[in-house]
Structure 1
Amino acid sequence: MSEVRIRPRQVLVLIIVFIFVLLMVHRNGKRTCQGPEYLQAMYTKSLTDTLPKIYAITPTYSRPAQKAELTRLSHLFMLVPNLHWIIVEDANSTTALVRNVLLRAGLTDRFTQLNIKTPPEFKLQGKDPNWIKPRGVEQRNLALNWLRSHADVDRHAIVFFMDDDNSYALELFVEMSKIKPGRVGIWPVGLVGGLMVERPLLNEENKVIGFNAAWRPERPFPIDMAAFAISMDLFFKYPQAAFSYEVQRGYQESEILRYLTTSDQLQPLANNCRDVLVWHTRTEKTKLNAEEMLQRQGKRSDEGIEV
């Protein structure tokens, strides 16, 4: 039986091929574990503690879809390392349902759970969630008061009003992290105000010169609550900045921003306001006709189950 001899040159070729395969596997594995480029950048920066903390303020109230919507948002917080969630319940006390959502997402040290009840005179009795005054005023103001007492004055941070019925892309929080001290960042919002996209209009120098809003364009800042985020130092500089019941519906954004900035000082983000990274998607009102019939018989489909 003849011997098979492997020459040194063949051994060298095999070693080179083996190393090449290992490098490709490592490269692909790295991409799979770390995710898209924008997310890789976020985690790399977080290791050096250079990202500003983003305080996301979410007013919430009890309703059939509450847990589902908060669960969806909690998955964002699991992926973005510099988010701190201030969730404010419209209730006389904080609830186990909301707390369980936060804990199940592993956000043990990354959330603050608050509560404050909206005065009954600001609601249409028996028709909740239809309101005669703007929603979330008490809750957002309580969160701002908490921030002024607990946020680090010397550390750059961002404040974002993050409603629980919107859809957010991860890239939005990367963009938000670019907001400079003393500035308000701004970007487009999809599916809002009767338009496919509501956005700032920029000049050749990328300064905001107007807005394309169709609904009440005469507003000082005709934008959605999801269209901007604010450098925390501005809330220390202007302690009177707050939301108000005294303004018309749709003017809450203008009410808070009038204390903090002017249109020409806004910082355009999201590819100079050409990328849509947040959508004003509202959950369809839950239909529970069969449940109501069941309850009239003294029964419940969710007896002993948290939904």
Structure 2
Amino acid sequence: MPFVNIKKQYLAIGMLIFVILFFFNSKPAFQCQISTDNQVVSYLPIIYGITPTYTRLAQKADLTRLSQTLMLVKNFHWIVVEDAETKTDLVKNFLKETGLKYTHLNVKTHSSKHSTASGVEQRNLALDWLRDHLAKIEDKRGVVYFMDDDNTYALKVFDEMRKINKVGTWPVGIVGGMRVEMPVVTDGKITGFNAVWKPFRPFPIDMAGFAINATLFLEKPDAKFSRKVQSGFQESEILKYFTTKDELEPLAENCTKVYVWHTRTQKPSIINPKKLKHPPVISDAHIEV
């Protein structure tokens, strides 16, 4: 074959390679995007998060921080229960703006000489709603998680609770006077609890440290919280209906990882304008905080 023809063939092949490379390099790269919307994924059980809340200056700030996390959780239904005679506009409008799937309830706390625990009536009302809701729907799969509005939650804790068969548990950070309060696991079984605050409790774990299979609340219609138990025993009061210490399912890598923290918002210190020598000219009473 003449040298000129060989040269033309190589030139043609080189031009073809150049065109192919130019074509692929000029195309935009394919990007796999994960939506942050609170989408419904059919194969994931629903997480019913029950959150009691009450009116205070930091209420909206706490709810906002929590909602930002919940927006990233698939198949989540937020049950927010106000400690109030009537639903407040602040919470009502806030929930509408979140875009989350939610149920808004309210009930006023009844004072009791037996217990100073907060959230009893609110959580019980939420459980009443839950049972009624589950009875009406075909797919009853789900998990119930009791969430304080000022706690801090990592997304991994929601992934963990979807593994639950009956009742799952995990460590909680910054609670009970400890860096971490946690179940002690030996050979995959819970053999004790690392807790110093009222360690004699039947279940010495924090409310944020467990979740319950939702269908169990249909099987145990009388399961609820009680004003007749002392402070700190509400967790044990609800868990006694569904499990024993031996049956608890250790999650979060055999209870060695912390994915939730019992944080508390410090009460804001606000100066009374009437006590100022030079009070502000413009009032902020019309601003929702």
Q: TM-score range by the shorter chain?
A: 0.7 to 0.9
Query: TM-score, length-normalised on structure 1?
Result: 0.82
> Which residue number corresponds to residue 128 of structure 1?
none
> 1:74, 1:101 within 8 Å by CA — same for their partners in 2?
no
- Structure 2 residue aligned with 1:8, among 2, 9, 13? 13
Runs of 5+ unmatched residues, structure 2: 1-9
Give the Å deviation of 1:248.
Answer: 1.2
Q: How does 1:38-187 map to 2 (within 5 A)?
A: 46-47=40-41, 49-107=42-100, 110-119=101-110, 121-122=111-112, 133-151=116-134, 152=137, 154-180=139-165, 183-187=166-170
Matched position secondary structure for 1:197: strand
> Is the aligned partner of 1:198 residue 2:191?
no
Rounded Cα–Cα distance in structure 2 between residues aligned with 1:209 and 1:292: 58
The 8 Å contact of residues 158 and 176 in structure 1, kept in 2 or not, is answered as yes
In structure 2, C-alpha distance between the alignment counterparts of 1:300 and 1:285, rounded to whole Å = 24
* CA distance in 2 between partners of 1:95 and 1:239 (Å): 30
Supply the distance in 2 between the matched residues of 1:22 and 1:223 (Cα, whole angstroms): 55
Asked if the contact 2:84/2:108 (under 8 Å) is kept, the reply is: yes
Deviations 1:222-244 (A, max 9, x none): 00000000001111111111111
Report if aligned partners of 2:115, 2:230 keep a CA contact under 8 Å in 1. no
Number of residues of Structure 1 aligned to a counterpart in Structure 2: 275
- Structure number with the higher helix fraction is 1
Relative to the length of structure 2, the TM-score reads 0.87
The corresponding residue for 2:5 is: none
The answer for the alignment partner of 1:303 in structure 2 is 285
1-structure distance, mates of 2:181, 2:143: 22
1:175 aligned partner, one-letter code: E
Q: Residues 253-264 of structure 1 correspond to what in structure 2 (within 5 A)?
A: 253-264=235-246
Q: Is the 8 A contact 1:99 1:113 kept in 2?
A: yes
Q: Do the aligned partners of 1:87 and 1:114 also contact (CA within 8 Å) in 2? A: yes
Corresponding letter in the other structure for 1:189: V
Structure 1 residue 252 corresponds to structure 2 residue 241:
no
Aligned to 2:34: 34
- Structure with larger Rg: 2
Work out the CA distance in 1 between the residues paired with 2:282 and 2:199. Answer: 47
Using the aligned pairs only, state the percent identity: 52
Select between 85-94 and 70-79 the one with higher mean Cα deviation. 70-79
C-alpha displacement of 1:122: 3.5
- Which of 187, 199, 205 is matched with 1:217 structurally? 199
Q: Which amino acid aligns with 2:151?
A: N
In structure 1, runs of 5+ residues without a counterpart are 124-130
Q: Is the 8 A contact 1:89 1:115 kept in 2?
A: yes
- Alpha-carbon distance, 1:221 to partner: 0.5
Q: 1:260 to 1:288 in 2, by over 3 A?
A: same
